[in-house]
Structure 1
């Protein structure tokens, strides 16, 4: 397997089609482990091990720590660096990232008092509790603005047109940040949908753009509780997905006043919560969602 820049690699494979067999080369997405370490004063701790697509590793680490409530402000981060092998005095640019805080000691982890083991498939498991979000200080988002329903169907195509690695591999998730006018602001890809979202939020944190209260996000897969949790932490009021939401994602969106759009494909979509932010172009444009969303 030949590793290529940008999270892609070439592999040889056999293709069977009817009576013929062909040996050919294809491009697949790279998946490698990343260890995230937290350092403050003389203390250091491993807080996460995740499978991800190499690239934007510093943003992934920052976004993960922000989403979990460990870091609430970019000013608390002194530096983010790849681990250095003291014997060789060179950076390890692949597998280990260390986030050094400005504090003189590591924070109290409370409910996070464990080593996170995450994968590109499931993200950070556990703590699936709305009460835990309230304890972290998360509050319902205000209904400060709205968008026309006609804006949403164009977003998946705009996202897809910028997914360079996906077009080459077909094997990556994406999270795209859009303005209220539907302009793509930033996009991150990864084999893990949670990693893609962490990279996007991490980019915003390191760029000093949080909170994202005047933006909306579109993800290429389904809407899970974990993804909605990350959106809420970044104060993203509109969350769109091309696939289905989970029941807990719908519950979270309704409890914290997020607008949740699912099955955004072609000219149709469902609104599961926060209909107040979607302005129908004409009567009957939007499907009715049950409950108090």
Structure 2
């Protein structure tokens, strides 16, 4: 298995004075995911939980939805001079009857760890391939429960403590208990690793849960929540406009700028026990 962190020499400059130091950095390496021997995608990721990453990616693509859809995930020999395993190539075998992704959805090109599903994803695509709906999920949370999640997420980020260079995705239940946490140099990979853990545990759809993100809430991450059946997504930073559009259409509760006791609820406010009056309508332009 590849290393998660490396030590590297550097020069720290403080108040104009240089000093030689050694720093701990998070590892970023390519992972090629093959489906039944056929290359599907290459993503830059932090080694670790690679099987989860592959399984979660296939959930996000609408290819699989339960553990039985995958018969095997295995590392392939890497492209080294001696033929040894680099642990950077995975092959996934699907159960009989599970269809391969359509050619228009295949990822036979390089995908950066920050890109996610750029180019392919759209509201129509999510509506077409989603296996579950989340709009009817009856789970409810108090603002206090949601406000406690960032600190719980941060306390569980072990690799971040050493590097400061990882995104995190945490899955919490209706009582605010952490079910799973995954870290990765790419925010999309962190969510795929979490969803992959869930599908291999036969937990999909993830009813009654909250997906807590250490960064911003993009359209792609909202899509992954929808595909996994997650009804609530919260982020410490901003959502994108398309993320809000998808959340409103799919019934996901979307929370951004979750910091301390403050938060912005962009969609699905009915899942929060809010006693305040409805927002004041915006004045007409002009």
TM-score (normalizing by structure 1): 0.89
* Equivalent in 91, 107, 113 of residue 120 of structure 1: 113
Say yes or no: does 1:157 pair with 2:154: no
Say yes or no: does 1:225 pair with 2:222: no
Q: Does the CA contact (< 8 Å) of 2:78 and 2:86 recur in 1?
A: no
**Cα distance between partner residues in 1 of 2:174 and 2:17:** 51
Task: Report the counterpart of residue 235 of structure 2 in structure 1.
Answer: 241
Q: Does the CA contact (< 8 Å) of 1:143 and 1:276 recur in 2?
A: no
Give the 3 Å change call, closer, same or farther, for CA 80–149 of structure 1 in structure 2.
same
Task: Report the counterpart of residue 201 of structure 1 in structure 2.
Answer: 195
Matches within 5 A, 1:44-123: 44-84=37-77, 92-103=85-96, 107-123=100-116
Q: What is the CA-CA distance between 1:131 and the residue it aligns to?
A: 1.1
TM-score (normalizing by structure 2): 0.91
Q: Deviations over 1:48-79 (max 9, x none)?
A: 10000000000000000111112232212110
Unaligned runs of 5+ in 2: none
What is the DSSP-based 3-state SS (H/G/I as helix, E as strand, rest coil) of the residue aligned with 1:279? coil
Say yes or no: does 1:147 pair with 2:141: yes
Q: Deviations over 1:224-264 (max 9, x none)?
A: 00000000000000000000000000000000110000000
Say yes or no: does 1:38 pair with 2:19: no
**Cα distance between partner residues in 2 of 1:151 and 1:169:** 28
Matches within 5 A, 1:128-147: 128-137=121-130, 139=133, 141-147=135-141
* Aligned residue pairs, count: 281
Q: Does the CA contact (< 8 Å) of 1:177 and 1:187 recur in 2?
A: yes
Root-mean-square deviation (CA, aligned residues, Å) is 2.5
Unaligned runs of 5+ in 1: none
- Which has more strand, going by share of residues? 1
